[in-house]
Amino acid sequence: MRRVVLVLTAVAHGLSERADLPLPRWLFGWAAAVVLIVSFVALAVLWPRPKLQQLPTRRLPGGRLLTSRAVEIVCGALGVAAFVGLLHAEFSGSQEPSANITPVVVFVLFWVGLVAVSVVVGDVYAAFDPWRAIGRVAFRRARRPYPARLGRYPAAAGLVAFTALEVIVPDGSVPERTAAAAIVYSVATFAGMAVYGVEAWRANGDAFAAYFGLFARMAPFAREGREIVVRPPLAGLPGLPEVAGTPTLLAVMIGTVTYDGLSQAAFYREPAASLRDAVGVTAAGAIGMTACIAAVLALYLLGTASRTIDFTLIGAETVWYLQAGLVVVGHVLALALAHDRALVLKPTHEKAVLSQFWMLVVMVGYTTLALLLLSQANA
């Protein structure tokens, strides 16, 4: 059990360990940069009009059954039962993380696994969200409208807190600590729902709902009213509402993963050790994570200020290639999405292309950093 937990917990980290590669690392970096630049030029020449903004959708047969009240009640009840069961395991079970199922469920199956499910299937978290299920029964009416200026900042703060529990807080995976964090999160969530309403709070202030909801926008399935519709992958991203705090939430999502990889990099060990000696382990981690988030947010603002696993099955080298490939593909897709959105916002094709030069620089920088961290992790 201990070996399984340790292996699965390692998977929860954003970047895995370094592999000995048959080609120089600098070659991967240059190749990735060339791919991004070629993609940028191809988008500028071959994509003169927006394609993703108004893509057609079609109804999924049987979709109304999936959104029926009976299915919602069953899914919500299962979510509540799972949550209560985890709390029981955290308080009553062994406090050794390797002998308790909760670290694997929380930090691997939930935090990492549900992202993959959301990207493929859609926002399944909403159906099984235990806080939503309880809130819909306990809080029928909102006491006041959700403040527009508050936006998604509460969700960003909650995401920072949860990630800190995983990668910064010493022994953060101890079951009693995760249980205490779950109770604090529950109190904050129910307070937000009681004041602003269940769905308004989930869309803005609920860290998990906002987090998984963003990934679900990539999925080919979405809910529209009582219908489940089928759409091209990624088509949900251009329609993301312009809500205050959204760039901060995205910066938190990227910055926390960046820090997770940075904390395992060989070149960071010496300065990290000096910082820990000066301010302590927790404070050093908080400073490092905050710096990563601030750096990511600064890059966005500088351009846009005005708006159980068997590791023997796949070798470390194969995993590295897959990660490097996914990084490059993901960043190329990001360029395509930004280009398509710029074509909607800018009056001419030429201005849309010019507005994306900084996006190209940012993507090249992100790709180079990601590949550097991949090559340095656990060196």
Give CA–CA dist 16/334, Å, rounded.
Answer: 23
Name the residue among 112, 93, 98, 89 with its Cα closest to residue 6: 98
Taking only the tens place, the pLDDT of each residue in 66-109 is 899 999 999 999 999 999 999 999 988 898 988 889 999 998 89
Question: Which backbone phi and psi does 319 adopt, to 5 degrees?
Answer: -60, -40
CB within 8 Å of 249: residues ≥ 6 apart:
152, 153, 155, 156, 159, 210, 211, 214
The Cα 189–Cα 354 span in angstroms is 43
Q: CB–CB of 282/164 below 8 Å? A: no
Neighbours of 253 (CB within 10 A): 19
- What residues in the chain have per-residue pLDDT under 50? 1-11, 14-19, 308-309, 311, 378-379
Rounded Cα distance, 289 and 168, in Å: 9
Extents of the domains making up the chain: 55-237
Six token digits for residue 67: 């959104």
- The single-letter DSSP state of residue 145 is P
pLDDT in tens, 290-316: 999 999 888 887 775 555 445 455 556
The predicted pLDDT at position 193 comes to 96
pLDDT at 7: 38
Residue-level pLDDT at 248? 93
pLDDT value of position 198:
95
Q: What is the rounded CA–CA span in Å between residue 112 and residue 235?
A: 22
Other CB atoms within 10 Å distance of the CB of residue 191 = 13
E-only strand ranges, 169-313: 221-224, 227-230
- Residues 6 or more apart whose CB falls under 8 angstroms from that of 343 comprise 47, 48, 49, 50, 349, 352
Q: With contact defined as beta carbons under 8 Å apart, do 125 and 211 qualify?
A: no
